[in-house]
Structure 1
Amino acid sequence: MCALSLTFSGLVATGLLAAPAASAADPAGYQNVRINEVTSNGNDTVELYNGGPAAVSISGWKMADDGFSPQTFTPSASSIPAGGFVTFDSPKGLGDSDKVVIYTADGTVVDRVDWAANKAKPAMARCGGDGTGAWVTTTTATTFGSANAAGCPASVPAASKVVVNEVGSDGSDTVELYNGGTSAVSIGSWRYVDNDTTHTAATVSASSPSTTSIPAGGYATFNSTLGLGSNDSLFLIDGSGNTVDSTTWAAAGASPSDERCAAGFRTSANATFGAVNSCVGSSPGGGAGGGSTGRLLGGGGALTSGCTPEAPGGTGSAPAGTQSWPGGPDVTIADNVCAFTTSTGPEGRDVSGLAFDPANPSVLWAAKNKNWLYKLVKSNGKWIPDATWSATGKQIRFAGGTGQPDSEGLTVGGNGHVYVTSERDNANNTAPKDTIMEFDPTATGSVLTPVRQWDMTAQFPQLDTGNKDDANLGFEGVGFVPDSWLTANGWTDPLTGAAYNPANYPLHGDGLFFAGLEYDGTLHVYGLNSDGSFTTFATVSTGKAGVMDVTYDAGTQRIVATCDNTCGETHTFLKVNASGAIVPDVTYTNPAVMPVDNLEGFALAPTSTCAGGFREAVWSDDGVYGFGTGTSSYGHALYSGTFPC
Structure 2
Amino acid sequence: MLAGLLITGMLAAQPAAAADPAGYLNVRVNEVTSSNSDTVELYNTGSTAVSISGWKMSDDSFSPQSFSPSSSTIPAGGFVTFNSPKGLGDSDKLVIYTAGGTVVDRVEWATDRATPGMARCGGDGTGAWVTATSASTFGASNASGCPSPIPAASRVRINEVTSNGSDTVELYNGGTSAVSVGAWRYVDSDTSHSPVSVSSSSPSATSIPAGGYVTFNSTVGLGDTDSVFLVDSSGNTIDSVTWVTDGAKPSDERCANGTGWFRTATTATFGNANSCSGSTGGGGGTQTGRLLGGGGSITSGCAPEAPSGTGSTPTDTLAWPGGLDVTITDNACAFTTSTGAEGRDLSGLAFDPANPSVLWAAKNKNWLYKLVKSNGKWIPDATWSATGKQIHFAGGSGEPDSEGLTVGGNGHIYVTSERDNTKNTVPKDTILEFDPAATGSTLTPVHQWDMTSQFPQLNTGSKDDANLGFEGVGYVPDSWLTANGWVDPLTGAAYDPASYPLHGSGLFFAGLEWDGSLHVYGLNSDGTFTTFGTIMTGKASVMDVTFDAGTQRIAVTCDNTCGETHTFMKVNASGAIVPDVTYTNPAVMPTDNLEGFAVAPASTCVNGFREAVWSDDGIYGFGSGSSSYGHALYSGTFPC
Residues 72-111 of structure 1 mapped to structure 2, 5 A cutoff: none
Question: Who is 2:506 aligned against?
Answer: 511
- Per-residue deviation at 1:283? 5.0
Question: Who is 2:617 aligned against?
Answer: 622
Q: Using the alignment, how far apart are the partners of 1:349 and 1:585 within structure 2?
A: 32
- Per-residue deviation at 1:627? 0.3
Tell me, yes or no, if structure 1 residue 343 matches structure 2 residue 338.
yes
Question: Who is 1:465 aligned against?
Answer: 460
Q: For the Cα contact (< 8 Å) 2:287–2:587, is it kept in 1?
A: no
Match of 1:311 among 296, 302, 306: 306
Q: Using the alignment, how far apart are the partners of 2:613 and 2:344 within structure 1?
A: 18
> SS at the partner of 1:414?
coil
Q: For the Cα contact (< 8 Å) 1:351–1:367, is it kept in 2?
A: yes
Match of 1:455 among 433, 441, 450: 450
Question: Who is 2:631 aligned against?
Answer: 636
Residues 151-550 of structure 1 mapped to structure 2, 5 A cutoff: 293-346=288-341, 349-550=344-545
- One-letter code aligned to 1:399: A
Q: For the Cα contact (< 8 Å) 1:347–1:370, is it kept in 2?
A: no
> SS at the partner of 1:566?
helix
- Per-residue deviation at 1:466? 0.4
- Count of aligned pairs between the two proteins: 371
Tell me, yes or no, if structure 1 residue 566 matches structure 2 residue 599.
no
Match of 2:581 among 581, 586, 607: 586
Q: Using the alignment, how far apart are the partners of 1:293 and 1:494 within structure 2?
A: 45
Q: For the Cα contact (< 8 Å) 1:348–1:369, is it kept in 2?
A: no
Higher CA-based Rg: 2
Q: Using the alignment, how far apart are the partners of 1:307 and 1:522 within structure 2?
A: 33
- One-letter code aligned to 2:517: T
- Per-residue deviation at 1:306? 2.6
Q: Using the alignment, how far apart are the partners of 1:356 and 1:281 within structure 2?
A: 36
Match of 2:547 among 532, 549, 552: 552
- One-letter code aligned to 2:292: L
- One-letter code aligned to 2:462: N
Q: For the Cα contact (< 8 Å) 1:348–1:368, is it kept in 2?
A: no
Q: For the Cα contact (< 8 Å) 1:545–1:567, is it kept in 2?
A: yes
- Per-residue deviation at 1:584? 0.1
- One-letter code aligned to 2:303: T
Deviations 1:561-591 (A, max 9, x none): 0000000000000000000000000000000
Q: Using the alignment, how far apart are the partners of 1:606 and 1:437 within structure 2?
A: 24
Q: Using the alignment, how far apart are the partners of 2:461 and 2:619 within structure 1?
A: 28
> SS at the partner of 1:349?
coil
- Per-residue deviation at 1:398? 0.1
Question: Who is 2:174 aligned against?
Answer: none
Q: For the Cα contact (< 8 Å) 1:348–1:370, is it kept in 2?
A: no
Q: TM-score, normalised by structure 2?
A: 0.56
Q: Using the alignment, how far apart are the partners of 2:598 and 2:449 within structure 1?
A: 24
Q: For the Cα contact (< 8 Å) 1:347–1:369, is it kept in 2?
A: no
Deviations 1:490-534 (A, max 9, x none): 000000000000000000000000000000000000000000000
- One-letter code aligned to 1:502: P
- One-letter code aligned to 1:315: T
Deviations 1:147-177 (A, max 9, x none): xxxxxxxxxxxxxxxxxxxxxx99xxxxxxx
Q: For the Cα contact (< 8 Å) 2:516–2:536, is it kept in 1?
A: yes
Deviations 1:186-224 (A, max 9, x none): xxxxxxxxxxxxxxxxxxxxxxxxxxxxxxxxxxxxxxx
Question: Aligned Cα RMSD in Å?
Answer: 2.4
Deviations 1:240-293 (A, max 9, x none): xxxxxxxxxxxxxxxxxxxxxxxxxx99xxxxxxxxxxxx997589xxx99962
Q: Using the alignment, how far apart are the partners of 2:547 and 2:465 within structure 1?
A: 27
Identity %: 82
- One-letter code aligned to 1:506: P
- One-letter code aligned to 2:369: Y
- Per-residue deviation at 1:305? 2.0
Q: For the Cα contact (< 8 Å) 2:305–2:344, is it kept in 1?
A: no
Q: Moved runs in structure 1, 4+ residues, more than 3 A?
A: 280-285, 289-292, 345-348
Question: Who is 2:104 aligned against?
Answer: none
Give the direction of change, closer, same or farther, for the CA distance of 1:281–1:322 in structure 2 (3 Å limit): farther
Residues 52-131 of structure 1 mapped to structure 2, 5 A cutoff: none
Q: For the Cα contact (< 8 Å) 1:282–1:292, is it kept in 2?
A: no
Q: Using the alignment, how far apart are the partners of 1:545 and 1:458 within structure 2?
A: 22
Q: TM-score, normalised by structure 1?
A: 0.56
Q: For the Cα contact (< 8 Å) 1:509–1:529, is it kept in 2?
A: yes
Give the direction of change, closer, same or farther, for the CA distance of 1:425–1:321 in structure 2 (3 Å limit): same
Q: For the Cα contact (< 8 Å) 1:433–1:457, is it kept in 2?
A: yes
Question: Who is 2:57 aligned against?
Answer: none
Q: For the Cα contact (< 8 Å) 1:306–1:341, is it kept in 2?
A: no
- One-letter code aligned to 1:497: G
For structure 1, the 5+ residue unaligned runs are 1-51, 54-168, 171-265, 268-279
> SS at the partner of 1:327?
coil
Match of 2:601 among 591, 606, 615: 606
Deviations 1:414-467 (A, max 9, x none): 000000000000010000000000000000000000000000000000000000
Q: Using the alignment, how far apart are the partners of 2:357 and 2:450 within structure 1?
A: 32
Q: Using the alignment, how far apart are the partners of 2:343 and 2:504 within structure 1?
A: 33
